[in-house]
Amino acid sequence: MKKIIVLGASGQLGQEWQHTFTDPEVVLLPYNSGQLDITMENQLRDELTEQQPDIVVNCAAYTDVDGAEENRDKAWHINVEAVSGLAELAEQIGFTLVHYSTDYVFPGKSNDRQRHPKGYPESLAANPINFYGQTKWEGEKIIRKKTDQHLILRVSWLCGNYGSNFVKTMLRLGQGHEELQVVNDQWGSPTFTENVVRNSWKLLQNKRRGTFHITSKGLITWHHFAKAIFSRAGIKVDLEAVRSEHFPTEAERPRFSKLKTSRLAGIKGTILEDWKTGLDKLLYQIEYE
């Protein structure tokens, strides 16, 4: 019987793995950061050596994009140094490392929407525009250098039934405000955590290795996304479209972050959903589950 260890089990993806993944032939062992911290090298080595997993799914990361600008040492320690140690253990112990990365490794320029209308391909050279993206890119490079037994899965605009995300924030704000402003010059596509877990497992079942993009079909702005959330949830809000400069942030945000998914589409059993389908599923889960 195969054994999968999930690190960062209290985050959006970590919780989704626990609730969505069902395979009677696999034992799933989740660890939150209090139980097993990826920055504690000796503890991590001892536990993984004892458990001898077939697969380790790393959902642990420093994800505070603005915070990374001020807490650079901490972001680097978690997203680069700890990931380096995990990649070394993958090679030493012999497990496959599944690691989640981000659209933020790409340049995110406005005119890239014309250059890459179907999204950034996996093969495009990275050029992060903020420090968070830089740490995720450095983590990717270290994994590729230290072990061939890896799956690096990039996602964008992540949202799901667990944890905090844009969909839940809009639902909360929509209940207490008659008017809201949302940026309309950042283009991409949401990625739904349930779809991520299902496609991650299909890639593993097909014994795929390397780098893949997982996201939804379609291209929208955050304003489009918010409008659809309110419409589908039956919430009446006067929604104003504004430019990114209206909401200054510590870290620069990409104006284009669509990920191309044609490589994933060629894998047997994978499911690429339209973002509207994913949103409908998520809203149902939030309300009824």
Interaxial angle between packed helices 12-20 and 193-205, expressed in degrees from 0 to 180 and rounded to the nearest 10: 60
Q: List, in order, residues 6 or more apart from 219 with CB less than 8 Å away.
A: 113, 119, 187, 188, 189, 258
Are the CB atoms for 8 and 1 separated by under 8 Å?
A: no
Other Cβ atoms closer than 10 A to 24: 6
Return the bridge partners of 197, or none. none
Per-residue tokens: 187: 């283009």
Are the CB atoms for 213 and 151 separated by under 8 Å?
A: no
Catalytic residue among 31, 132, 162, 284: 132
Are the CB atoms for 204 and 98 separated by under 8 Å?
A: yes
Which region, left, alpha or beta, applies to residue 180 given φ > 0 means left and ψ of -120 to 50 means alpha? beta
**Strands across the sheet containing 150-155:** 26-31, 2-7, 55-58, 96-102, 150-155, 210-213
Separation between Cα atoms, residue 154 and residue 136, nearest integer Å: 10
User: How many Cα atoms occupy the beta-carbon half-sphere of 88 within 13 Å?
Assistant: 11
Q: List, in order, residues 6 or more apart from 284 with CB less than 8 Å away.
A: none
CA distance to 98, 108, 181, 254, per residue, from 111 (Å): 32, 9, 24, 11
Catalytic residue flag (residue 132): yes
Question: Which positions are catalytic?
Answer: 132
